[in-house]
Structures are given as C-alpha cells and as structure tokens.
C-alpha cells in the first residue's frame, strides 16, 4: 500500500504562499492541466497528498493513440489490438479499430509532470477545504486567483453537500497486480464475479492486473477479485482500488475548475477515466491559459469550460442508461449473443470509433511555445 508522503520533522515546513494557478491533485487530470500551462508565464503550483506517481488506483490502460499524442509512450508496457470477452455461455474476440495499451503509472506521471516545465512547482500536502480563493491544507494556506480541483470523486473544494458511498453515483473497483505475464486483454461479464459489472485481466509485461468492478457500490468485490486471480493461477498480491464516478457533475462551481473524477468525467459502462481525465484536463488548462494571459476573464474561462463539459452530457447520459440497463439484466444467453455480435469486425469498428470520438486523441495539440519575456532573445 502507498505510504503518505507528507513531510515530517524539520522537513515539514509551512506551505503558505501565493501563485497564479493552484492545481490540487497530481494524477492524470491535474498533471494534464499543468502540461497545458507550460510556457504560459503562469506560476503554477501542484499539490497532492502523495508524491507524483506514488498512488496507482487503476488498471492503467488507455488507447495507445492517446499515449502517442501526449508523448507518453515511454511508460507503455503492453499493447492490445483486441479484447477477449467471456460470458457464462461464450467467448468472443472483439477486434479494435485502434489499440489499447497498459502503462506504468509512476513513469507516465513523471513524464507528464516534466512536460509542465520549470514554471510548475510541486509539493505534498493534504487538502482540507477552501475559503474563497484560499485553499486550506495540513501545511498551511495557499491562495491563487485560479484554482483547480483534480482530487478525485470526493470533490474536496466544492462547498456543496458531500455525498458518500453507497448513496453517491459511484461504482466500486478493486484489483490485484501480481507478477506474471499474459498475451491477451480479457473481460468477464459473468454474475459469478459481479451481478452488475465485470471482471478484467490486463497484462503489463511483468505483471498482470486482475480486478472486479461493480456498478452497485453496496456490492463488495474483494472476494470475487481474489477468486478470479486464483482461477487464473495468480496470487492476490498488490491490492489497489477506488470508487469510480459514473455521472457528470458540474465542471465549474463558485470560482473553481473541476477536472477528472471530481467532475464525474469517468465514462459509465466501461469505467474508463484516464483518457477523459487527459481530455478535460487539457481543455481546463487551455481556459486557464487564456485567463492568465488576459484573453478572457476568469469568469468567462469558467463559463466556457463548464459549457465544454456540459456539451458532452448527452453522451454520458446514454452511457449511463446503458449501464443501468446492464445492472438490471442477469447475464444470460441474450447477453452472450450481444457479446458475440461485436465479434463482427464491421460492427466493432463502427462502435469503437464512435466510442473513441467521445474524447478523441486529435484533441491533443503540440505544446505551445513559451511566452517571450522582456529582454529575452525570443522577444528581440
């Protein structure tokens, strides 16, 4: 299990300071925001309870094209051009029009953080809440005119009511990642593991990530995760898990930008949240860049970012309806026929191209050039 990295003793100094942009959360969404601010001239501060890359909570797989577009292939572990899907009655191979890849979380986060450039400062602190433009941490207060909550489903910087599981719109996921190897990315749609949900096995070169997710948060998933690993001949080593949002929430509230799980950007049905964290994180960073450089007011940047997120609401709504329908169905021969239908390459190609288009890798732009400072060669 990860160890909290908050500094202690003589190293535990006060963290009270000001910055131009304060990003709370140093995982996929928060680091994508910082990346998009590179060279903007903004003093960017990123804080997290853990060191960058320290706390992996997902199977760490994403469309390979996203890793290429973000220049993060250094972290790639294994690539898959099809998914093998098992039901109680059949096994089908879904040939993808694009590939998925597993990656190393620590390496990806380190590479993404480096893209933020020298103007981004990082430190460890636990975020406790907010008053206006001041964020309260266990190491003191930080103030900024532009603030991002990328802390996850708890939505720490919101002043709205807190909704805890199992009443919150959350799914539950748990996995183990023992040493091992495999050649196939596999899914199980099988009530033996999850009545409403699925199991998975994602090889990552020298380890295999095996887990179970449930759309019903009250259903525990430890026992089926251990059982699935055992059936694959693997020990239940290296537990990691998390609550997974499956409904959009407001992406802007009371002067704060929300990105990633804090805005419910994880996709329903598939629980895929990494590329959407990149996608909305980049969009958020572009609005922050415009606000810092004076092309927009902070209020307009907030409104435009909220509108961008809201424009995807119908896609999320339809995926949520599909998830709810799956939750009401017992996996049966009819389910198996549906799974088998996607073995048709034309159908799979059509469906997965539309699915990727929800957050396409073409959204990634080359990193912008730094702002020329007075007296620098670029300004001459």
Helix (H) or strand (E) holding 309: helix 298-310
Buried b (16+ CB within 10 A) or exposed e, 120-157: bebbbbebeebeebebbbebebbebebbbbbbbbbbbb
The pLDDT, as a whole number, for residue 329 is 66
The pLDDT, as a whole number, for residue 16 is 78
Q: Running along the chain, 380 residues long, what does each successive block of 10 average in pLDDT?
A: 47 80 98 96 96 88 97 98 94 97 97 93 95 94 97 92 76 95 96 92 97 92 97 95 90 97 95 97 98 97 98 95 77 81 96 97 82 44
pTM assigned to the model: 0.92
Tell which residue, 176, 155, 186, has the closest CA to residue 80.
186
What string of H, E and C letters represents the secondary structure of 202-222? EECCCEEEEEEEECCCCCCCH
Q: 359: which residues sit within 8 A by CB, 6+ positions away?
A: 275, 276, 278, 279, 280
The pLDDT, as a whole number, for residue 335 is 82
The pLDDT, as a whole number, for residue 132 is 94
The pLDDT, as a whole number, for residue 377 is 40
For tokens 């599909």, the residue is 322
């Amino acid at each position: 299990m990860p160890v909290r990295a908050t500094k202690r003793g003589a190293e535990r100094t006060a963290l009270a300071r000001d910055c131009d942009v304060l990003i709370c959360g140093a995982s996929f969404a928060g680091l994508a925001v910082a990346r998009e601010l590179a060279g903007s001239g903004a003093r960017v501060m990123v804080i997290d309870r853990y060191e960058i890359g320290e706390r992996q909570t997902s199977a760490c797989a994403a469309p390979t094209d996203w890793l290429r577009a973000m220049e993060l292939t250094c972290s790639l572990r294994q690539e898959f051009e099809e998914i093998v899907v098992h039901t109680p009655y059949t096994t089908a191979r879904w040939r993808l029009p694009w590939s998925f890849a597993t990656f190393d979380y620590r390496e990806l986060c380190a590479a993404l953080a480096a893209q933020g450039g020298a103007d981004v400062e990082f430190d460890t602190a636990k975020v406790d809440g907010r008053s206006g433009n001041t964020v309260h941490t266990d190491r003191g207060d930080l103030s900024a005119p532009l603030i991002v909550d990328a802390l996850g489903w708890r939505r720490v910087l919101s002043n709205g009511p807190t909704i805890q599981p199992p009443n919150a719109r959350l799914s539950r996921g748990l996995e183990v990642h023992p040493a091992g190897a495999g050649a196939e990315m596999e899914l199980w749609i099988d009530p033996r593991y999850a009545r409403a949900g699925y199991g998975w096995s994602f090889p990552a070169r020298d380890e295999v990530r095996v887990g179970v997710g449930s759309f019903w948060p009250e259903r525990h998933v430890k026992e089926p995760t251990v059982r699935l690993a055992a059936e694959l001949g693997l020990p239940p080593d290296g537990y990691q898990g998390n609550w997974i949002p499956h409904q959009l929430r407001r992406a802007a509230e009371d002067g704060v930008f929300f990105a990633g799980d804090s805005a419910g950007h994880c996709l329903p049905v598939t629980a895929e949240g990494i590329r959407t964290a990149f996608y909305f994180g980049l969009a958020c960073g572009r609005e922050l860049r415009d606000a810092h450089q004076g092309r927009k007011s902070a209020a307009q940047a907030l409104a435009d970012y909220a509108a961008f997120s809201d424009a995807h609401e119908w896609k999320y709504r339809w995926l949520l309806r599909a998830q709810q329908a799956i939750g009401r169905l017992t996996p049966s021969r009819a389910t198996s026929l549906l799974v088998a239908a996607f073995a048709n390459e034309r159908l799979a190609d059509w469906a997965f191209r539309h699915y990727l288009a929800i957050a396409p890798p073409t959204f990634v732009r080359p990193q912008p050039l730094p702002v020329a400072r007075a007296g620098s060669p670029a300004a001459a």
